[in-house]
Structure 1
Amino acid sequence: MADKWLISIIGPTAIGKTSLAIKLAQHFGTEIISADSRQFFKEMSIGTAVPSKEELAAAKHHFIQNISIFDPYSVGDFEREAISLLQKLFSINDIVIMVGGSGLYIDAVTKGLDKFPEIDPAIRTRLNELLKVVGISALQKQLSDLDPEYYQKVDIDNPHRLIRALEICIGAGKPFSSFLDQEKDPREFKTLSLGIDADRKIIYDRINQRVDLMVKAGLLEEVKSLEPYKSLNALQTVGYRELFKYFEGDWTLDFAISEIKKNSRRFAKRQLTWFKKNEETIWVNYQEDIKDIVEKINQKITS
Structure 2
Amino acid sequence: MAQLYRTSVISADSRQCYREISIGTAKPTTAELAAAPHYFINSHSIREEVNAGIYEQLALQYARDIFRDNDIAILCGGTGLYIRAFCEGIDDMPAIPPGIREQLNAQYAENGLAWLQEQLQLRDPAFYATAETQNPQRLIRALEVLDATGRSITTFRTATKAQRDFRIIKIGVNLPKELLHENIHKRVDLMMDAGLLAEVESVKAFRQHNALRTVGYQEIFDYFDGTLSLDKAVEDIKTHTRQYAKRQLTWFRKDPDYHWFDPRYPEVIISWLQQQLQQPS
Query: Normalization by structure 2: what TM-score?
Result: 0.91
Distance of aligned partners of 1:193 and 1:153 in 2 relative to their CA distance in 1, 3 Å threshold: farther
Counterpart of 2:91 in structure 1 is: 114
Deviation for aligned residue 1:148: 4.1
Contact preservation (8 Å) 1:35, 1:102: yes
Q: Deviations over 1:185-228 (max 9, x none)?
A: 31111111100012212211111111011111111111122223
> Counterparts of 1:123 and 1:211 in 2: how far apart (Å)?
33
Deviation for aligned residue 1:89: 1.0
Secondary structure of the 2:234 match is: helix
- Residue 285 of structure 1 aligns with an amino acid whose one-letter code is D
Match for residue 296 of structure 1 among 248, 272, 279: 272
Match for residue 53 of structure 1 among 30, 33, 50: 30
Deviation for aligned residue 1:130: 2.8
Find out whether 1:224 has 2:204 as its counterpart.
no
Contact preservation (8 Å) 1:37, 1:102: yes
Counterpart of 1:245 in structure 2 is: 222
Contact preservation (8 Å) 2:14, 2:211: no
Counterpart of 1:31 in structure 2 is: 8
> Counterparts of 2:29 and 2:95 in 1: how far apart (Å)?
40
> Counterparts of 2:96 and 2:16 in 1: how far apart (Å)?
28
Distance of aligned partners of 1:260 and 1:154 in 2 relative to their CA distance in 1, 3 Å threshold: farther
> Counterparts of 2:57 and 2:121 in 1: how far apart (Å)?
31
Counterpart of 1:12 in structure 2 is: none
> Counterparts of 2:273 and 2:108 in 1: how far apart (Å)?
45
Distance of aligned partners of 1:51 and 1:274 in 2 relative to their CA distance in 1, 3 Å threshold: same
Counterpart of 2:187 in structure 1 is: 210
In structure 1, stretches of 5+ residues that fail to align are 1-23
Deviation for aligned residue 1:267: 0.3
Match for residue 78 of structure 2 among 101, 106, 109: 101
Deviation for aligned residue 1:124: 3.5
> Counterparts of 1:152 and 1:64 in 2: how far apart (Å)?
35
Match for residue 185 of structure 1 among 162, 168, 180: 162
Distance of aligned partners of 1:148 and 1:28 in 2 relative to their CA distance in 1, 3 Å threshold: farther
Q: Deviations over 1:268-294 (max 9, x none)?
A: 000000000111111111211x33211
> Counterparts of 2:134 and 2:141 in 1: how far apart (Å)?
13
> Counterparts of 1:84 and 1:295 in 2: how far apart (Å)?
29
Distance of aligned partners of 1:246 and 1:262 in 2 relative to their CA distance in 1, 3 Å threshold: same
- Residue 298 of structure 1 aligns with an amino acid whose one-letter code is Q
Contact preservation (8 Å) 1:158, 1:236: no
Find out whether 1:285 has 2:262 as its counterpart.
yes
- Residue 75 of structure 1 aligns with an amino acid whose one-letter code is A
In structure 2, stretches of 5+ residues that fail to align are none
Find out whether 1:69 has 2:46 as its counterpart.
yes
Counterpart of 1:44 in structure 2 is: 21
Contact preservation (8 Å) 1:158, 1:237: no
> Counterparts of 1:122 and 1:232 in 2: how far apart (Å)?
13
> Counterparts of 1:274 and 1:153 in 2: how far apart (Å)?
12
Deviation for aligned residue 1:125: 4.7
Corresponding residue pairs, total: 279
Contact preservation (8 Å) 1:33, 1:98: yes
> Counterparts of 1:183 and 1:214 in 2: how far apart (Å)?
40
Contact preservation (8 Å) 1:123, 1:171: yes
Q: Percent identity of the aligned residues?
A: 42
Match for residue 263 of structure 1 among 222, 226, 240: 240
Counterpart of 1:84 in structure 2 is: 61
* Higher RCO (C-alpha 8 Å, min separation 6): 1
> Counterparts of 2:179 and 2:272 in 1: how far apart (Å)?
24
